[in-house]
Structure 1
Amino acid sequence: MFNYIKFALYIILVFFLAIPKLAKFEINSDKYSAREKFSFLEKHAKRALSIVNIKLNIIGKEKIPKEPVLFVINHSSMLDSFILVSSVDRPIGCVIADVPIWKNMPIISHWTKLIRCVYINRSNTREGIKSIIEASENILDGHSMAIFPEGDLTWVKEPNALVSDFRAGALKIAYKAKCPIVPLVIKNSKDTYEGYQPVGKITSMPVEVEFLDPIYDHIDNPKLKSTILSDSIKNNMIKKIEEFRSRS
C-alpha cells in the first residue's frame, strides 16, 4: 500500500501543477506545438512510474514509422496508460470509452481534449462511427492515435487470457486514415496494479514493452476484414507474451 500512497500523492501534486500549465496552453493553444503540450504528461507519467520503481524495458522503438500511425495496445493493468505515454516517441491522442468518469473528471478532461483524445460510445453505432471518423481525421492531420481494442482490462473480460478479444471496429480508424498500424505489446504489467478500482496495490517490478513491425495490410488491401486483421494482431501479441514468459 505504501507504493500506492506515494503514487497517489504524486498524482495529486501533478493535478495542482497542471492547472497553470493547462491554462497557458488553453488560452494560447496555437502558440504551442503538440509536442510541447504532450511533453508535460510524458514527463510526469515517467516520474510516476519511477516513484514506484516500475522500470520500462522498451524494445523495437526504431520500427515506428516517421508518419502518423495508429498504435494498438493490449491492456492488463490500470497503469497501462502511464506505460503507453512513457513509451511512445511522439504526441498521441487516445480513443477513450465515453463514460462519465473519464469525460467529466476535472483537469483530466481538459488534458484529453488538449492532446486530441477521442471519446467513443460503444453502445451507439452511429456515435461510434463519428468517433472513428474523428480519430482518423486526427491522424490525417498528422497526429498519431492510440487504442486499447480489448475495450477493458484483459483479465476482467477473460480471466485466463493473455490478450482478450478485440473490438475489431476500432481498427477502422487506420482503414479510413490509410495509416500504418503499430502493435505495442505490454508483456507483464498485470501484477503492477492489483485491482480494478481507483485504489489498489502497486507492485514494483520491471515491465517489458515491445513495438512490433508496422502493419500495412489494410492499406494494400482495403477489403481485408478488420476482424481478420484484429485476430492476427492479437495472436502476434500472445506469441510475444508467451516468448517473454518462457525466458523469464
Structure 2
Amino acid sequence: MENWPKRKGCVMVANHQSNFDPLLVLSVNDYSLYAPLGFIAKEELKKSHLARRFIFLIDVLFIDRNNPRTAITTFQEAKELIRIPRTMMIFPEGTRSHQQEMQEFKAGAFNMAYQSYVPIIPVTIINSYQIFDRKYKGKKDIHLIFHKVIEPSEFIKLSTDVLSKQVFNITLIVKLKRTLI
C-alpha cells in the first residue's frame, strides 16, 4: 500500500482474474489517505443485473469494445476524474482470465496515463479466480501487490506497446515468484 500515492490522482493497472477483483481493490482503499477509486469497464456491464446495482454507486466509465473509438472519449472523461482526484483503475487484459496465467496486456489501455500525465501503479492480483471456483474450498490465499509507481517522466517517451510489455512483466514476475514460494 505504501506505493499508492496519497490523495493524488493516478492510473492503476492490474491483471484480471475474476469479477471480484474490483471489490478487492475497493476494500483496501482508505479514502482518508488515497484518492477514491474509479474504474474503466466494458459497456456490457451496464446490462448485468448484479453489476448494474453496484457500478452506479462509484465512478465507472465505459468502453464499447465493439467500437474502440469510444475509448478516446472515455479516457478524456477519466482524465477529468483523475484531476478531482481519482485513482482510475483499468484491467488491460481486456477480460478476466479465470486462472493464474495472465493474458497479454492491450497497449491502448495505457493511453489514459499518457493523456493525464499521472503516475501508473502496476498491481498484481494473485488467486482471486479461486473465490468462485468450487474446487478451492476453505481458506483462499489471495494477495494484492501494489508495485513501485511508474512516474510519467519514466514512461512518457515510451510507446504504449513498450510500456504495456514493461508493466505486464512487472506484474508477471511477482506472480511467478509467488507461485514458486
Normalised by the size of structure 1, how large is the TM-score?
0.64
| Pair 1:209-2:153 in alignment | no
| Pair 1:63-2:3 in alignment | yes
| Pair 1:169-2:114 in alignment | no
| Pair 1:244-2:173 in alignment | no
Contact map agreement 1:163 1:237 (CA 8 A) in 2: no
Aligned pairs for 1:13-162 within 5 A = 61-66=1-6, 67-90=8-31, 91-99=36-44, 102-105=45-48, 108-109=51-52, 111-155=54-98, 162=101
Counterpart residue identity of residue 211, structure 1: F
Distance 2:111 2:180 in 1: 34
Distance 2:123 2:162 in 1: 18
Structure with larger RCO (C-alpha < 8 A, sep 6+): 2
Unaligned runs of 5+ in 2: none
Counterpart residue identity of residue 65, structure 1: P
Deviation at 1:202, TM superposition (A): 6.7
Deviation at 1:221, TM superposition (A): 4.9
Number of aligned residue pairs = 175
Q: 1:201 to 1:132 in 2, by over 3 A?
A: farther
Deviation at 1:241, TM superposition (A): 0.7
Counterpart residue identity of residue 139, structure 1: I
Identity score, percent:
29
Task: Work out which of the two has the higher radius of gyration on C-alpha atoms and give 1 or 2.
Answer: 1
Contact map agreement 1:175 1:219 (CA 8 A) in 2: no
The equivalent residue for 1:55 is none
Unaligned runs of 5+ in 1: 1-60, 195-199
Structure with a larger share of its residues in helix: 1
SS in 1 for 2:39: strand
Normalised by the size of structure 2, how large is the TM-score?
0.85
SS in 1 for 2:123: strand
Q: 1:180 aligns with which of 101, 104, 119?
A: 119
Contact map agreement 2:155 2:163 (CA 8 A) in 1: no
Contact map agreement 1:93 1:112 (CA 8 A) in 2: no
Q: 1:228 aligns with which of 120, 143, 162?
A: 162
